[in-house]
């Protein structure tokens, strides 16, 4: 691709920067691999790339963020707001040479969809299409995605998992004239990113991830086309804040391979509100730090049953924390850790912290998926749920989430004193003041 990426950084209110929303016909076509390949290729040329992910996903941004050597943030006009999304893009446009936004699922999947975001923000779309089992149909799929809605600006297409050069020629020639050929990635096991039950394996667990990203960039440099990317104008906007509600409050946050689902925007909300954040690792045997409040985010406790079950001192300290009326937020994997027992996919069971009466077991199939809104005494918070665990919780339901799309998933929220637990991953920018109140005694 062309290195001619003109960003305007003037005193004008509007900031202009090349930008692309990378989407696909469906999940599994390779959006993350292609986005990471483009990002790493540009960064190696000395250019600055801002990474974003449409929707609530945690795992893909870990990888694309590493590819760009810059933390990737989520963009959701429902979980957050249009103002918040515009503020993040506006800030990025003043700092980088290219903005890449990885879409979620297929271009038109979900409410709101990646297409909806593209139209709302004026973003051009690059299609990633798995061409491994098609030739001329590649162009038909791209044409259909472009013209399904007249308001979506499909700029170009990228063929993933191509075979020989002749295969690339076939799919390239199938594209209509109004869709730019942007390049391809070949089919190769070494270019694939490892997966498991919640999606891609988290970046910290892929020991050779940097080498894989460099290989993706090498291949993109060979097969990517030298095209001038479209420039997008971004209007000014400001992030919502909670003022200084958490000034002087110390929040201990679990962070390791068992508790790794942390939105960067959530940490930003807490810090902007004045909180002092200290991280600790239950897997490493860290004690609970001296703190005013604690947060156990989601992750993979089911992959670390024995280690987590042996942290008896931490279990006791957390129980004392709750008994003292101090705030504790446990989300999804954090909720599972707080139950009496947890069993993995094979039925291997281990005792957990025992802060909330109940038991859970991982299922082979997805148990819950969907956006969630919860009316709490602190205020309404929005987020999402996505898990394979079936939990039987004996505590009474304190509040029940609603789903904006009338989908069947509605998660229960449990509360004991200032201990709040649920399967919902809250997105704090949806209501920074309500989020801050969760951490106040």
Top CATH class of 15-234 equals alpha beta
CATH number of 250-437: 3.40.50.880
Residue 270 has a pLDDT of 98
Is 15-234's fold the same as 250-437's? yes
Residue 10 has a pLDDT of 45
Structure-model confidence comparison of residues 12 and 39, the more confident one: 39
Is 60 exceeded by the pLDDT of residue 269? yes
- Exposed/middle/buried for residue 11 (C-beta within 10 Å: 0-12, 13-18, 19+): exposed
Residue 198 has a pLDDT of 58
Residue 11 has a pLDDT of 47
- Residue 252 forms beta bridges with which residues? 278, 294
> Which range in 7-21, 202-216, 406-420 is most confidently predicted, on average pLDDT?
406-420
Mean pLDDT along residues 209-226? 90
> Token digits for 201?
């394996």
Q: Are 163 and 210 in contact (CB under 8 A)?
A: no
Q: Are strands 195-196 and 199-200 parallel, antiparallel or unpaired?
A: antiparallel
Q: Are 32 and 57 in contact (CB under 8 A)?
A: no
Residue 194 has a pLDDT of 66
Q: Helix 82-93 crosses helix 114-121 at what angle (to 10 degrees)? A: 70
Catalytic, 332? Answer: yes
220-258 confidence digits (pLDDT tens): 999 989 899 999 999 999 999 999 999 999 999 999 999
9-33 confidence digits (pLDDT tens): 444 599 999 999 999 999 999 999 9
Residue 195 has a pLDDT of 67
Distance between CA atoms of 160 and 263, rounded to whole angstroms? 29
> Token digits for 420?
């709040």
Domain residue ranges of the chain, discontinuous segments joined by +: 15-234, 250-437
Residue 206 has a pLDDT of 72
Is 60 exceeded by the pLDDT of residue 5? no
Q: Which of 153-162, 187-196, 284-293 has the lowest mean pLDDT?
A: 187-196
pLDDT band at 111 (very low <50, low <70, confident <90, very high): confident
Q: If we measure between CA atoms, which residue out of 396, 385, 401, 440 comes closest to residue 418?
A: 440
301-317 confidence digits (pLDDT tens): 999 999 999 999 999 99
Instruction: For the chain, give the percent of residues with pLDDT over 70.
Output: 94
Residues 6+ positions from 252 with CB-CB distance below 8 Å: 278, 279, 280, 288, 289, 291, 293, 294, 295
Residue 203 has a pLDDT of 67
Mean pLDDT along residues 260-266? 96
144-185 confidence digits (pLDDT tens): 999 999 999 999 999 999 998 899 999 999 999 999 999 999
Residue 415 has a pLDDT of 97
Instruction: Please provide the average confidence, as pLDDT, over all residues in the chain.
Output: 92
54-104 confidence digits (pLDDT tens): 988 888 888 999 999 999 999 999 999 999 999 999 999 999 999 999 999
360-414 confidence digits (pLDDT tens): 999 988 888 899 999 999 999 999 999 899 999 999 999 999 998 877 889 999 9
Residue 188 has a pLDDT of 80
Q: Are 119 and 152 in contact (CB under 8 A)?
A: yes
State whether residue 163 is helix, strand or coil: coil
Q: Which residue is catalytic, options 332, 338, 349, 397?
A: 332
> Token digits for 291?
């703190």
Residue 9 has a pLDDT of 46
């Amino acid at each position: 691709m062309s290195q001619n990426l003109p960003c305007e950084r003037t005193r004008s209110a509007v900031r202009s920067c090349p930008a692309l929303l990378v989407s696909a016909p469906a999940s599994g076509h390779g959006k993350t691999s292609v986005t990471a390949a483009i990002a790493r290729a540009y960064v190696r040329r000395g250019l600055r790339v801002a990474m974003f992910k449409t929707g609530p996903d945690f795992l893909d941004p870990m990888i694309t963020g590493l590819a760009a050597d810059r933390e990737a943030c989520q963009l959701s006009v429902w979980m957050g707001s249009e103002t918040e999304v515009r503020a993040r893009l506006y800030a990025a446009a003043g700092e980088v040479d290219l903005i890449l936004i990885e879409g979620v699922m297929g271009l038109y999947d979900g409410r709101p969809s990646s297409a909806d975001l593209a139209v709302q923000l004026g973003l051009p779309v690059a299609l990633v299409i798995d061409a491994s089992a098609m030739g001329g149909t590649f162009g038909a799929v791209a044409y259909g995605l472009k013209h399904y809605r007249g308001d979506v600006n499909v700029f170009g297409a990228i063929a993933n998992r191509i075979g020989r050069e002749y295969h690339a020629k076939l799919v390239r020639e199938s594209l209509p004239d109004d869709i730019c050929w942007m390049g391809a990635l070949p089919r190769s096991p070494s270019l694939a990113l490892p997966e498991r039950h919640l999606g891609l394996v988290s970046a910290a667990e892929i020991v050779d991830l940097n080498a894989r990203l460099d290989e993706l960039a090498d291949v993109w440099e060979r097969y990517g086309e030298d095209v001038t990317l479209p420039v997008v104008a971004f209007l000014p906007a400001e992030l919502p804040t909670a003022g200084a509600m958490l000034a002087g409050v110390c929040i201990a946050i679990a962070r390791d391979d068992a508790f790794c689902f942390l939105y960067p925007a959530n940490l930003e909300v807490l810090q902007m509100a004045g909180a002092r954040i200290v991280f600790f690792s239950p897997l490493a045997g860290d004690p609970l730090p001296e703190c005013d409040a604690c947060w156990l985010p989601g992750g993979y406790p089911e992959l670390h049953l024995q280690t987590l079950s042996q942290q008896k001192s931490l279990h006791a300290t957390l129980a004392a924390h709750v008994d003292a009326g101090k705030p504790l937020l446990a989300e999804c994997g954090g909720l599972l850790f707080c139950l009496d027992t947890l069993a993995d996919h094979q039925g291997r069971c281990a005792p957990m912290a025992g802060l909330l009466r109940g038991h859970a077991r991982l299922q082979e199939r997805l148990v819950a998926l969907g956006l969630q809104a919860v009316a709490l005494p602190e205020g309404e918070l929005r987020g999402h749920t996505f898990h394979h665990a079936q939990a039987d919780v004996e505590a009474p339901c304190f509040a029940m989430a609603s789903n904006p799309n009338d989908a069947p998933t509605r998660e229960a929220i449990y509360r004991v004193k200032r201990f709040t637990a649920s399967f919902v991953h809250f997105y704090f920018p949806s209501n920074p003041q309500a989020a801050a109140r969760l951490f106040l005694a």
